[in-house]
Chain A
Amino acid sequence: MIVGERKPVTEIIDNLKGYRKVLVLACGTCVTVCMSGGEKEAQELASLLRLKGFQAQAQTVERQCEKEFNLQLQTGICACEAVVSLACGIGVQVLADCFPRVPVFPGLNTTFMGAPVEQGIWEERCSGCGECLVHLFGNVCPITRCAKSLLNGPCGGSRGGKCEVKPERDCAWQLIYDRMKSQGKLESLLEVQPPKNWSFSRYGGQRKMIREDVKL
């Protein structure tokens, strides 16, 4: 899932200067699961905005990243002067594409693709490199979970299973080593992994996927 964190309320309020009628739009998918931008959070933010003197309303759509769900808002959107979208950066942009004349402000800082580790803790797991090779590393992604994205790790800064860059973070290569050892596959770690082909990743430019077989 995509994880984001609510922007500081003061920043949201600053962005809304000059507007009175505000719609706080929640998204019912990823950001609901990470408790940053769901219906509950939208209602709370709308209350805070009303306490600050805005005429604020809260609404939710299933997913802001899909036009069909946003277009249901036609009447609601027309009644407001600005929207605070609590969706991830994708939803904010798709919403703005649906209603290009309405000022849309992001209410979240979208951060990563990750998963809940336990209640209240989410961690990054995937960088979208476009060429998934996690099976070579005991299903622990070194691109994402190693601070230096090493494919032939670890570096000299692994200590007690923790990363020297972020000491509260596990060293990905310790995890990879432990997992491969438990699977009896340590020998494959002796192979020198060649340089990564980054052209499939974000570094190769914005990605697009086309499925001719399902296009109308």
Chain B
Amino acid sequence: MRIASVGCDRQGFPALLRFLETFPEYRMDVTAVPCLGTVHESMMLHILEDGYQLLLLAGCPLDSCFNQKGSEFAFRKAQRVNALLTEAGIPKRVACAFVTADKIGEIKRVLESIVSGQKGEEP
């Protein structure tokens, strides 16, 4: 499965890098953004158009997003995109992992649940 990931400068991106160091068996193309809240639906869809099956968004935990609502907005936008993808019968998804730079277990849990066929986008 080709996976792209986008992480926020604060927590998400550092967590993704640490995750890839710790679990080298996972391969992902990683991008940084100032805040997950800046990732709009169109951007999510464009990334998926580039041949990825899964887009993973990594950001601050919902109740401690540095910009208050960035993670929450990203989560809701991801839900909307997933609804569109499901409606159109497109087998791609957007998943969210809300992490801190030193608690990267959530990323593994989300990826594993998707690989094993479940929807892993619940925070």
A–B contact via C-beta, under 8 angstroms: yes
Chain B: residues with Cβ within 8 Å of the partner, total of 15
A9: Cβ under 8 A from any B Cβ: yes
Q: How far is the CB of B116 from chain A (nearest CB, A)?
A: 24
The answer to whether residues A51 and B42 also contact, given A9-B84, A44-B84 and a CB cut-off of 8 A, is no
Q: Chain B contacts of A9 at CB under 8 A?
A: 84, 87-88
Q: Chain B contacts of A40 at CB under 8 A?
A: 40-42
Contact residues of A: prevailing secondary structure: helix
Mark out the residues of chain B between 59 and 114 whose CB falls within 8 Å of any chain A CB in the assembled complex.
81, 84-85, 87-90, 92
Mark out the residues of chain A between 127 and 176 whose CB falls within 8 Å of any chain B CB in the assembled complex.
none
B45: Cβ under 8 A from any A Cβ: yes
B48: Cβ under 8 A from any A Cβ: yes
Among B40, B49, B84, residue most surrounded by chain A Cβ atoms (within 10 Å): B84
Q: How far is the CA of A9 from the CA of B41 in the complex (A)?
A: 16
Can you pick out 28 interface pairs between chain A and chain B where the beta carbons lie within 8 Å of each other? A9-B84, A9-B87, A9-B88, A10-B88, A10-B89, A13-B88, A40-B40, A40-B42, A43-B45, A44-B41, A44-B42, A44-B81, A44-B84, A47-B42, A47-B45, A47-B49, A48-B84, A48-B85, A48-B90, A51-B45, A51-B48, A51-B49, A51-B85, A51-B88, A51-B90, A51-B92, A52-B88, A52-B90
